[in-house]
């Protein structure tokens, strides 16, 4: 029987989940709410994460701009995505939610600006 333990990261409570698979069905225990069931099952089938990082920006009030994925991506792709993010150098100004990298690594996920950043 498949069995995996993990901490639910959906909210700060951090329930310890136990996910088991029996006769083809997943069961989740230890969750205090329904969101833990979805998280636990998704985490064993296809774990995903939202990625946050920063990119270099020139002519700006700060040297780096915070960016984030506009959707969650497969955990397996995080290093590939970070490599692409690290290649980018922007020029100010940038506006909140501007698309910095479209369709990163063919995932249909965009890297967007987490804040605006003005020209010096």
Closer CB to ligand SF4, 33 or 99, in the complex: 33
Position with the least CB separation from ligand SF4: 36
State phi, psi for 42 to the nearest 5 degrees: -60, -35
CB of 19 to ligand SF4, least distance (A): 12
| Strand 89-91 to 52-58 pairing | parallel
Closer CB to ligand SF4, 41 or 92, in the complex: 41
Distances from the Cα of 34 to the Cαs of 26, 41, 90, in angstroms? 14, 11, 41
Binding residues for ligand SF4, per CB under 6 A?
8, 10-11, 13-15, 31-33, 35-36, 39
CB of 4 to ligand SF4, least distance (A): 15
């Amino acid at each position: 029987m498949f069995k995996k333990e993990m901490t639910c990261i959906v909210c700060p409570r951090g329930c310890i989940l136990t996910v088991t698979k029996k006769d083809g069905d997943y069961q989740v225990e230890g969750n205090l709410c329904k969101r833990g069931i979805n998280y636990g099952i998704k985490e064993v089938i296809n774990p995903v994460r939202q990625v946050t990082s920063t990119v270099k920006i020139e002519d700006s009030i700060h040297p780096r701009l915070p960016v984030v994925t506009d959707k969650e991506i497969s955990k397996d792709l995080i290093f590939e995505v970070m490599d692409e993010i690290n290649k980018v150098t922007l020029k100010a100004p940038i506006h909140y939610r501007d698309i910095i990298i479209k369709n990163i690594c063919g995932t249909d996920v965009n890297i967007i600006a987490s804040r605006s950043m003005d020209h010096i």
